[in-house]
Amino acid sequence: MQQEDKFIQATNLIADANHLLVFTGAGVSHESGIPVFRGKNGLWQKYRPEELATPDAFRKAPRVVWDWYRYRRALIRKANPNPAHIVIAELERIKSTFLLVTQNVDGLHRVAGNKKLVELHGNIFYTKCTACDNCIYEYEGENWSDLPYCECGALMRPAVVWFGEPLPEAALTQAFEFARTADVVLVVGTSGVVYPAAYVPLIVKQHGGKVIEVNIEPSAITPHADIFLQGKAGDVLTHIMKLLTRSK
Ligand code: NAD
């Protein structure tokens, strides 16, 4: 199939969808200047995320892990939503039954305007206590220069899901329940190898829904995709939005 035919088919599926699910990964934020973990230009590879983003790493070297998170927070604070985030926010406005499930912790979908969203792996600007329920939002910048301690005396940590940790149950349930009813899932910029998040598009498929994938290169999701649109998320989604607007 020609690329333009695939675009038209994908646009028609999105236009006709009663329940639209959008599932995103680090690739959707790449054009905002935030490096991905895997794939081409996975700049954070030099920091070996699988070794730093773990409870064990934090126990052994909390300062190193916090330095890495503060570096990432600073990078993300400077970033703005790109055209892919903008189109996904627009999809929420035009589709009445919609859910965005993101694996990203950068919060850029919120900045772009998405409200019906599940942040499966948390949000990098939250800091939580390792002992009590204290959790604070620190978007404007941390007012601490050494390691952060809670009023209860315990060390605070980034409130994101680390490798080997369970996902927040409510978020996962909401994502899986919507996936069972979705007639289309638009998968954007994920390698599809981080579980259980990667089950989301597979559940849609199992329940008879269609899978549209956008990625610069094939991923673990591609064998399950009904339509694979190869290209940068910003370019591909902007083109789809143009076709959607035209087809109204
Ligand atoms: P990943 O790094 O494993 O994969 C990124 C995918 O995006 C790759 O398949 C790559 O080919 C694709 N990609 C890169 N640039 C793209 C572009 N311009 N347009 C379309 N696709 C593009 O990321 P993942 O699948 O999200 O899984 C890694 C985990 O790392 C996630 O759980 C997430 O929490 C975390 N993470 C988050 C951020 C963020 O919040 N921005 C960044 C890196 C990693």
1-33+81-121+167-248 and 35-78+122-160 share one CATH topology?
A: no
Q: Using the mean position of ligand 1's atoms as its centre, give its distance from the Cα of residue 25 in Å.
A: 4
Among residues 19, 85, 109, 121, the one annotated as catalytic is 121
Within 8 A by CB and 6+ apart from 140, the residues are none
Of 119, 195, 189, residue with least CA distance to 160: 119
The encoded tokens of residue 98 equal 């919609």
Name which residue sits closest to atom 13 of ligand 1, judged by CA.
Answer: 27
224 has catalytic annotation: no
DSSP state of 44: G
Q: Which superfamily does 1-33+81-121+167-248 belong to?
A: TPP-binding domain (3.40.50.1220)
Give the pLDDT confidence of 116-135 residue by residue, as tens digits: 999 999 999 999 999 999 99
pLDDT tens, 215-247? 999 999 999 999 999 999 999 999 999 999 987
- Output the ligand 1 site: residues, CB below 6 A: 25-27, 29-31, 34, 36-39, 42, 103-106, 121, 189-191, 194, 214-217, 219, 232-233
- Cα dihedral value 119, 123, 126, 128, nearest 10: 60
Sign of CA dihedral 23, 29, 34, 38: positive
Tell me which CATH homologous superfamily contains domain 35-78+122-160: SIR2/SIRT2 'Small Domain' (3.30.1600.10)
Give 132 Cα–ligand 1 centroid separation in angstroms: 31
- Average pLDDT on 184-194 reads 97
- pLDDT, tens digit, 9 for 90 and up, residues 19-58: 999 999 999 999 999 987 765 544 455 667 778 899 999 9
- What is this structure's pTM? 0.94
Q: Residue ranges per domain, the chain?
A: 1-33+81-121+167-248, 35-78+122-160
Amino acid at 24: T
